[in-house]
Amino acid sequence: MTVLVTGGAGFIGSHLIEALIANGDDVVVLDNLSSGFMSNLPQPETRFKFVKADLKILKDWKNVLKDVSLVYHLAANPEVRVGEADPSVHFQENLFATFNLLEAMRKSSKSKNIVFASTSTIYGEPTKLPTPEDYGPLLPISTYGASKLGCEVLLSSYAHTQGLRALILRLGNCVGSKAKHGVLVDFIRKLKTDPSSLEVLGDGTQEKSYIHVDDCVNATLFLKEHFLNSPERCAAYNISSTDQISVRRIAQILTEEMGLRGARISCTGGVDGGRGWLGDVKKMHLSIAKLQALGWNPKLNSEAAIRKAAKELTR
């Protein structure tokens, strides 16, 4: 089939494109390159069609959906912390861009199926860990999480009133090669600047679920096949590993992988009860029981995912 990947020059999107091409799909990539890079994409470029355009400017890409039967929507501003300084960024890049895409799909005669990359941050700070998909109420504590939850609501409404079908993927923290942001990238940058010490934002006890990008892409394609063969109009699944890891342990693993075991690890103490920043969810552990019931399991747990990603990002 012909598929569209928005945000395809980004971290997860570029890995997804490699898998789609390997599966024999014809791939169209739409990216404004604000946080993506052409160097992330497979070579030669003839293996896919690239469209440089911004989802917020409909006239620049209105004809892209002409032959597309399935959309993977990964385009977004991925930096949670940016919302603290400028909340409008997540509204524009995540919510408004998704609205434009759904409107274009509504008017399309062919593009009626969408796979959306959501996030664990839509759960806010749940009282139930591991957190299942039916947990509520959903009360995000960041504008990033709020914008992604808003996208989910739009997807559901369009699925039930406009003839679309939507698969929502609530991703844990994804790590691996080609990542340009996140805790590992931040730590590597700090250690390259000063190999003798590593500062950790927060009190160091923050614990979250991590998944390697290879497992993430594998689960995405697995769920896509299941969803397209199901009668559901809209469905949400958590994608992550089955456990958690602390940010302090991540720091220890990285110093080991970089041969800097003597580096001093210090914590800033954080804000608002030891968070790394305002809006940072301190404890996140997703339940993937719903996904496991379909027969899928991650190959790596959180620590193994972190260690593999650390090797990939530092070699």
Q: Quick check: helix, strand or coil at residue 132? A: coil
Give dist(CA 274, CA 239) in Å, integer. Answer: 26
> Contact, 223 vs 167, CB < 8 A?
yes
Helices (H) and strands (E) in the chain, counts: 10, 13
Place of tokens 């970089």: 258
Nearest to 155 by CA among 120, 125, 122, 118: 118
> Contact, 220 vs 172, CB < 8 A?
no
Burial class (CB in 10 A: 0-12, 13-18, 19+), 173: buried
- Beta strand 234-239 with 207-208 is unpaired
Nearest to 42 by CA among 61, 64, 27: 27
Residues written for the chain:
315
Q: Is 144 a catalytic residue?
A: yes
Give dist(CA 149, CA 62) in Å, integer. Answer: 25
Q: Is the peptide bond before 44 cis (omega within 30 degrees of 0)?
A: yes
Selecting among 144, 158, 210, 237, the annotated active-site residue is 144
- Report the catalytic residues: 144
